[in-house]
Amino acid sequence: MIKIEAIFRLCRFEAVKAALAKVDVRGMTVSEVKGCGKQKRAIEHYRGSEYEILFHPKVKIEIVTLKENMNKIIDAISYAARTDETGDGKIFVSEIAEVVHIRTGQRD
């Protein structure tokens, strides 16, 4: 099993959700997160004062799935989340050591 963690723009969430449904992804965890990439910090003005934006709001989707599903899921997310502007996001893939189904105690 692997975990795919995708962090991308909030405005692309509906498109990514639809793309994942098309490749039969059902189980997932969704969070609103804040983060930063490589770019310099942005400055925002509010009531005459300057504020440095250290972290940008993003959405994070976590999907644990079989390794054989990895490429189609990555392709679906990348295509749906892309705007071609800096800050489109990142996808991280890691190995999952164990999955436990709480109700039944089943492990696989």
Give the footprint of ligand ATP on this chain (CB under 6 A).
7, 33, 35-39, 56, 58, 86-90
Which residues, 6 or more positions from 25, have their beta carbon under 8 angstroms from its beta carbon? 63, 65, 69, 73, 76
The CA-CA-CA angle for residues 12, 19, 84, to 5°, reads 45
Q: Which of residues 80-99 bind Mg ion (CB under 5 A)?
A: 86-87
80 in Cβ contact with 15 (< 8 Å): yes
Question: Which range of residues in 15-23, 38-46, 60-68, 73-81 is near Mg ion by CB under 5 A?
Answer: 38-46
d(CA 95, CA 1): 6
Taking CB within 5 to 8 Å according to partner kind, which of Mg ion, ligand ATP, none is near residue 58?
Answer: ligand ATP
Taking CB within 5 to 8 Å according to partner kind, which of Mg ion, ligand ATP, none is near residue 72?
Answer: none
Residue nearest to ligand ATP (CB): 35
From the CB of 94, what's the least distance to Mg ion, in Å? 21
d(CA 3, CA 49): 42
Closer to ligand ATP by Cβ: residue 65 or 89 = 89
Tokens 């692309």, residue located: 12
